[in-house]
Amino acid sequence: MIRRIQHIGIAVRSLREAIPFYRDVLGLELVGTEEVADQKIRAAIFRVGESTIEVIESTAPDGPVGKFIEKNGEGIHHLCFEVGDAAAALSHAKGKGVRLIDETPRSGVHGMRIGFLHPKSTFGVLTEFAEAGDEGH
C-alpha cells in the first residue's frame, strides 16, 4: 500500500526566510512554490532524491499550520506517505481503528489527493497519505 515517503512537511513562519537555508545552505533543488487556499498554506517544495521536503507557511493565523506554529513553534509538521489510492488507504486505516482527520481525500499540493490521520492515533505524528496528482510529485 505505501510506496515511499512522499515528503516531510516542515512548518515555518516565513518561506522568504526559510527558502535560502534549504536552497543555498543544503543545496536542495527548489521545485517550486504553491499556495493551497483551502488549507491556508503556501509551500516551497524541495527535491531530495525520490522524495521532497515541503516547507510550509500559514497564510492565516487560524489555519492548521498557523495554529501548529503558535502551539509548537517551527519544525517538523507531518510525514507523508505516497499511496496508490488515498481513499483506500484512509478506509484501511479507519478499519484498523485509526482516527482520521479526513474521511475522504481532498486536494493538496501538485494536485495530489491527500488525507490525514489524527496524531492521537499515530503516536503523535501527523501522518498524511498522498495519491500522486497530475504532476506526479
Decide if 136 is inside a domain: no
Decide if 137 is inside a domain: no
Domain count along the chain: 1
Decide if 96 is inside a domain: yes
Decide if 95 is inside a domain: yes
* Each residue's pLDDT tens digit, 57-114: 999 999 999 999 999 999 999 999 999 999 999 999 999 999 999 999 999 888 899 9
Q: Are 112 and 132 contacting, i.e. CB atoms less than 8 angstroms apart?
A: yes
How far apart CA 105 and CA 119 sit, in angstroms, is: 17
* Each residue's pLDDT tens digit, 32-63: 999 999 899 999 999 999 999 999 999 999 99
Determine the pLDDT at residue 134. 55
Q: Which long-range CB contacts under 8 A does 59-63 form with residues at least 24 apart?
A: 59/35, 63/39
Decide if 50 is inside a domain: yes
How far apart CA 79 and CA 81 sit, in angstroms, is: 7
Determine the pLDDT at residue 110. 82
Residues near 24 by Cβ (< 8 Å), separated by ≥ 6?
A: none
CATH number of the domain encompassing residue 121: 3.10.180.10
Owning domain of residue 107? 2-131
Q: Could you give phi then psi for residue 104, rounded to 5 degrees?
A: -135, 155
